[in-house]
């Protein structure tokens, strides 16, 4: 059985996509699926390359026993379209950026992460960068829900 690979994408790769990366990774580990699923994250903007996640994201995640400490921001690169089966954007703007970058022969899935959400009230994960504390809690709420939905989807399709 082959591996499934998922890349989470936001703008800075310091708030939303690292939160999704660590949350989904932890779920995969808990389910004993680490040998079957590869998880990573990247950004479409270059301001924070090489930086750790935003401390506000790290602290909010830590309160839910999710660790962002080991992550480092990087840009989406063309090779990602060959390495990953699923490239999941946090919002429409980043999905559009991915569509513009995708090579003509890209065979994977491009979509919004919240297409896998079980709750139906948000299509996009709102950018928390200029928001207050509650913006970071909302990111975690949405990401935890969509992670469950994505796992259910992968189990039904390919795990």
Nearer to ligand 4NP, 17 or 26 (CB): 17
Find the binder of ligand 4NP among 25, 116, 127, 143 (CB under 6 A).
127
Find the binder of ligand 4NP among 6, 7, 15, 42 (CB under 6 A).
15
Stretch that binds ligand 4NP, among 9-17, 29-37, 59-67, 95-103 (CB under 6 A): 9-17
Find the binder of ligand 4NP among 4, 6, 7, 14 (CB under 6 A).
14
Stretch that binds ligand 4NP, among 7-15, 24-32, 107-115, 143-151 (CB under 6 A): 7-15
The 10 Å CB-count burial string (b at 16+, else e) for 73-93 is bbebeeebbeebbbbbbbbee
Reference 112, options 126, 101, 132; nearest CA is 126
- Subset of residues 77 to 116 that bind ligand 4NP, contact rule: CB under 6 A: none
Find the binder of ligand 4NP among 6, 7, 8, 13 (CB under 6 A).
13
Residues composing the chain: 159
Active site residue 30: no
Active site residue 127: yes
CB-CB contact of 52 with 71 (8 Å): yes
Distance from CA of residue 4 to its chain's centroid? 14
CB-CB contact of 147 with 20 (8 Å): yes
d(CA 42, CA 48): 11
Active site residues: 10, 16, 127
């Amino acid at each position: 059985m082959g591996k499934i690979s998922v890349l989470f994408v936001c703008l800075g790769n310091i708030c939303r996509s690292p939160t999704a990366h660590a949350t989904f990774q932890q779920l995969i580990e808990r389910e004993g699926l680490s040998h079957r699923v590869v998880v990573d994250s990247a950004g479409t903007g270059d301001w924070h390359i090489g930086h750790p996640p935003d401390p506000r994201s790290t602290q909010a995640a830590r309160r839910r026993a999710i660790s962002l400490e080991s992550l480092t921001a990087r840009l989406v690169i063309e090779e990602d379209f060959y390495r990953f089966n699923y490239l999941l954007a946090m919002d429409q703007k980043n999905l559009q950026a991915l569509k513009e970058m995708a090579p003509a022969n890209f065979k994977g899935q491009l979509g919004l992460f919240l297409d896998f959400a079980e709750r139906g009230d948000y299509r996009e994960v709102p950018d928390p960068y200029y928001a207050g504390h509650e913006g970071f809690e909302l990111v975690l709420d949405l990401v935890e829900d969509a992670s469950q939905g994505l796992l259910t989807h992968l189990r039904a399709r390919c795990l």
